[in-house]
Amino acid sequence: GQNIDQPTEMTATEGAIVQINCTYQTSGFNGLFWYQQHAGEAPTFLSYNVLDGLEEKGRFSSFLSRSKGYSYLLLKELQMKDSASYLCAVSDSNYQLIWGAGTKLIIKP
């Protein structure tokens, strides 16, 4: 079966750095997405990785290792507005997105 694993919840302090991990087992791989979802709102796109390595975009970076079936999202200089759920999704062999359950990130002052 296809499976995406992420921690259910994480807590971090304002101004700090946090890394959210995602491991996946899918039938095929056509890229990995990270989305942010604030409570009661729609998911919004953060990043896309299809090749191994680190993609940096401002305070957010995303890393991919295809051989390990592993990705992480790195958030730097955390702000209170970063409190949200972070969703990992993999595009499988049929180009359908398989979604993880999401990681709820709580930022404390």
Partner 1 sequence: TAGITQAPTSQILAAGRSMTLRCTQDMRHNAMYWYRQDLGLGLRLIHYSNTAGTTGKGEVPDGYSVSRANTDDFPLTLASAVPSQTSVYFCASSDGRTSTDTQYFGPGTRLTVL
Residue 1 or 109 having the CB closest to partner 1 = 1
The verdict on 20 binding partner 1 (CB under 8 A) reads: no
> Cα separation of 95 and 70, whole Å?
18
- Check binding of 58 to partner 1 (CB under 8 A): no
Q: Which is nearer to partner 1, 2 or 13 (CB)?
A: 2
DSSP letter, residue 95: S
Q: Using CA atoms, how far apart are residues 102 and 77, in angstroms rounded to an integer?
A: 21
Tell me if residue 8 falls in helix, strand or coil. coil
Residues at the site binding partner 1, with contacts judged by CB under 8 A = 4, 30-31, 33, 41-45, 48, 50, 87, 89, 91, 95-102
